[in-house]
Amino acid sequence: MTNKAESPLGSDAATRESRRQQADTAYRSERLRRAPYEQIARLVIVHRMKSGLTQKALAAQVGTSESAICRLERGAHAPSVDTLARIADAFGKDLVVDFADVDQDRRTLRAASA
């Protein structure tokens, strides 16, 4: 018997994700490739919500389509620096680009402490 209570529906999403990445190298490679886009997506969503903008309103301010904002927020789109600069401008922010060290064990980015 295990100490951890298990869901009657099975494992949670994080556990399934971890198992899939361990078992499927192509899946893991694709997740690593898309990780920066997903980080950008999360930032855009947070700032858009803080600004009280809909995807449609943000698209209008940026000069792009609502579907382009939707793709960006899904992490399915690699935005150009120009697009990111226009999005930052719509939020009243400056776009800041930095480099970070790569943690080889976890293959995640850590902020450089310089």
Q: Which long-range contacts (CB under 8 A, 24 or more apart) does 97-105 make?
A: none
Q: Which amino acid is at 5?
A: A
Question: Mean pLDDT throughout 79-107?
Answer: 87
pLDDT at 4: 55
Q: Which domains does the chain have, with CATH numbers?
A: 16-92 (1.10.260.40)
* pLDDT category of residue 12 using cuts at 50, 70 and 90: confident
Q: How many helices (H) and strands (E) does the chain have?
A: 5, 2
Question: Mean pLDDT throughout 38-47?
Answer: 95
* pTM confidence score: 0.70
Question: Mean pLDDT throughout 18-29?
Answer: 79
